[in-house]
RNA sequence: GGCCCCGUCGCCAAGUGGUAAGGCAGAGGUCUGCAACACCUUUAUCCCCAGUUCGAAUCUGGGCGGGGCCUCCA
């Protein structure tokens, strides 16, 4: 079974064949650091984190580059509003970015370049493009001449004539063609700037990604990723710049993640449904957010709502409950050298799903089947005395944990700890204290010992009415949120 | 207006030519003092119409509905 990926460039799933056997180079557009990250950023970063992890898991030596855009109009404006430098602002939000990404369990990429560290390379590409006649300097700006790049719009599949009809040249721009875009912008007063052959200025947005990707991955590399909204103009322009300058093919496969909607509406500041990652994490566990995002195919739109998040929490709890129960069920049983093959079978199905364009939803469905098998095995009569079943449970438990940990970045907590954390978080939203629950449980245990079932049920129903469900087992009585 | 994507059970969501995964919720059963948990069983012919095919949710055409990009955006 080989890995297949959906390539925006061809509009089809293609067999993944790296440029260099055994190695993968991937570049994903990162964030412009002028504000806190929202759940759309969470999705993009989680999706490409899993893609990165899966390449490594599949044995590829993977170089993952994710940049920071730390020079940009929005940064400059925001910094000016606050009376600090662009650098101070961007550094602050880089720290905030890491806070959020770490919470979501996102691995650090191999390289995390900042645009401002690549000014020399940016200037060099601009110069090459000017020398080749594909770009021109005008009034301290440098513009890319789109008509000089024959395959412009090949990624976004748009029509040049129609694009031109709607394009405008903004006041102050020196473009020859409205579709041309800025590679270099002349410095205005109060803006950060660098010296260049065209005078003091700063890079345009698109050029930085061309510079950073070629510097760290070479002119040609395997995977380029980002959100759907970057297809035009950002990625289209990157192709024009990079291929125009190098004369070589740029990224081989273009991967784009779908959007996050909120209650079925596009998330936007004007609609007031804009959620930052840290706001969401006040209500939902980070792993629940991660799990939720991975239960959909990465290219589909996903709807962020309380109901969907609650369901994700139930689903993830099912995993942790089963992992917890399995762990306990085999804890006191001596190890044996039996190999069940259950884990290998599950792993094969998991890989098959992931090989099909990183279908995490399908992969998770297979893991759920593993959970059911696990639960079925450990509730078998005299389970602990059946060495073959014990071996299956150990194998399956270890496999679910390993696939979850390494590829999906899930199930990383100690099950009982995680379940406890979620319970306590839920409790905080109810009008009841832990002490009250424990007191009631004690009272009910006593009533049951006295065979006073009427009272026992009364206590249970009263707690249930307040959102607390009791669970009796051999070990005693525990509780969970309804 | 141009380009692109989507429409599968009450909800979420896989499946892209061979007879509908999985989760949540629901029903019945086992377990239980009664419950809950867990397990077992069970719940759809895939927006509509026409066509291609031995065979279509999957391909083609038309319609209806939803969304995205075309300006900064994950």
Task: Indicate yes or no: strand B within 7 A of the C-beta of A173.
Answer: no
A184 bridge partner residues: A142, A203
Distance A235 CA to B16 C1' (A): 28
Strand pairing of A12-15 and A4-7?
A: antiparallel
User: Are A31 and A68 in contact, with CB atoms under 8 Å apart?
Assistant: yes
Distance CA A448, CA A456 (A): 6
Checking each nucleotide's C1' against the CA of A367, the nearest proves to be B22
Nucleic acid strand B within 7 Å of A297 CB:
yes
Contact A216, A63 (CB under 8 A): yes
Residue A430 has a pLDDT of 84
Rounded to 5 degrees, φ, ψ at A168 are -130, 150
**Å: A318 CA to B25 C1':** 15
Asked if the Cβ of residue A300 lies within 7 A of any atom of strand B, the reply is: yes
| Residue A228 contacts strand B, CB under 7 A | yes
Q: Is A321 exposed, middle or buried (0-12, 13-18, 19+ CB in 10 A)?
A: middle
CA–CA dist A204, A168 (Å, integer): 18
Tens of each residue's pLDDT in chain A, 482 residues: 589 898 998 888 888 999 999 999 999 999 999 999 999 999 999 999 999 999 999 999 999 999 999 999 999 999 999 999 999 999 999 999 999 999 999 999 999 999 999 999 999 999 999 999 999 999 999 999 999 999 999 998 888 887 777 777 777 788 898 899 999 999 999 899 999 999 999 999 999 999 999 999 999 999 999 999 899 999 999 999 999 999 999 999 999 999 898 877 778 766 667 889 999 999 899 999 999 999 999 998 898 888 899 999 999 999 999 999 999 999 988 888 777 888 999 999 999 999 999 999 999 999 999 999 999 999 998 898 899 999 999 999 999 999 999 999 999 999 999 999 999 988 888 888 999 999 999 999 999 999 999 999 999 988 888 888 899 988 889 898 87
With contact defined as beta carbons under 8 Å apart, do A51 and A106 qualify?
no
Of A residues 64-93, those with CB within 7 angstroms of nucleic strand B are 74
Q: Closest protein residue to B21 using CA and C1' atoms? A: A365
Question: Would the Cβ of A456 be found within 7 angstroms of any atom in strand B?
Answer: yes
A231 touches strand B (CB under 7 A): yes
Percent of chain A that is helix, strand, coil (3-state, to 5): 50, 15, 30
Phi-psi domain of A251 (left: phi exceeds 0; alpha: psi -120 through 50; beta: other) = beta
A307: CB within 7 A of chain B nucleic strand = yes
ipTM of this model?
A: 0.93
- What lies within 8 Å, CB to CB, of A38 at 6+ separation is A267, A274, A275, A276, A277
pLDDT at A337: 75
Residues 362-401/A with CB < 7 A to strand B? 362, 364-365, 368-369, 371-372, 375-376, 379
């Amino acid at each position: 079974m080989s890995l297949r990926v959906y390539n925006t460039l061809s509009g089809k799933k293609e067999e993944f064949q790296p440029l260099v056997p055994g190695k993968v180079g991937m570049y994903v557009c990162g964030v412009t650091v002028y504000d806190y990250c929202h759940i759309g950023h969470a999705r993009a970063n989680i999706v490409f984190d899993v893609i990165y992890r899966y390449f490594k898991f599949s044995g590829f030596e993977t170089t993952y580059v994710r940049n920071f855009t730390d020079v940009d109009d929005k940064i400059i404006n925001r910094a000016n509003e606050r009376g600090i430098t662009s650098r101070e602002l961007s550094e602050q939000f880089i720290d905030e970015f890491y806070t959020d990404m770490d919470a979501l369990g996102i691995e650090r990429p191999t390289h995390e370049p900042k645009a401002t560290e690549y000014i020399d390379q940016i200037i060099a590409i601009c110069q090459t493009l000017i020398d080749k006649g594909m770009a021109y300097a005008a009034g301290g700006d440098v513009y890319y001449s789109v008509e000089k790049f024959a395959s412009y719009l090949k990624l976004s599949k748009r029509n040049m004539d129609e694009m031109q009809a709607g394009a405008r040249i903004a006041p102050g721009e020196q473009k020859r063609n409205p579709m041309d875009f800025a590679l270099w912008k002349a410095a205005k007063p109060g803006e950060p700037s660098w010296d260049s052959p065209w005078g003091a200025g700063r890079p345009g947005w698109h050029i930085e990604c061309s510079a950073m990707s070629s510097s760290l991955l070479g002119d040609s590399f395997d995977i380029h990723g980002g959100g759907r909204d970057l297809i035009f103009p950002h990625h289209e322009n990157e192709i024009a710049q990079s291929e125009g300058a190098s004369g070589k093919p740029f990224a081989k496969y273009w991967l784009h993640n779908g959007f996050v909607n909120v209650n079925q509406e596009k998330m936007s500041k004007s609609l007031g449904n804009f959620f930052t990652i840290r706001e969401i994490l006040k209500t939902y566990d980070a792993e629940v957010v991660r799990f939720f995002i991975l239960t959909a195919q990465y290219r589909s739109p996903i709807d962020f709502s309380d109901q969907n998040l609650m369901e994700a929490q139930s689903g993830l709890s099912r995993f942790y409950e089963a992992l917890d129960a399995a762990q306990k069920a085999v804890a006191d049983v001596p190890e044996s050298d039996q190999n069940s093959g259950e884990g290998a079978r599950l792993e094969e199905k998991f890989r098959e799903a992931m090989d099909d364009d990183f279908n995490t939803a399908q992969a998770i469905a297979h893991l759920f089947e593993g959970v059911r098998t696990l639960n079925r095995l450990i509730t078998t009569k005299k389970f602990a005395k059946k060495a073959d079943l014990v071996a299956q449970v150990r194998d399956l438990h270890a496999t679910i944990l390993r696939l979850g940990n390494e590829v999906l970045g899930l199930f990383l907590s100690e099950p009982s700890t995680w379940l406890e954390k979620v319970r306590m978080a839920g409790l905080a939203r109810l009008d009841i204290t832990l002490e009250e629950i424990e007191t009631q449980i004690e009272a009910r245990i006593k009533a049951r010992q006295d065979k006073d079932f009427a009272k026992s049920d009364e206590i249970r129903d009263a707690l249930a009415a307040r959102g607390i469900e009791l669970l009796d087992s051999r070990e005693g009585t525990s509780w969970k949120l309804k």
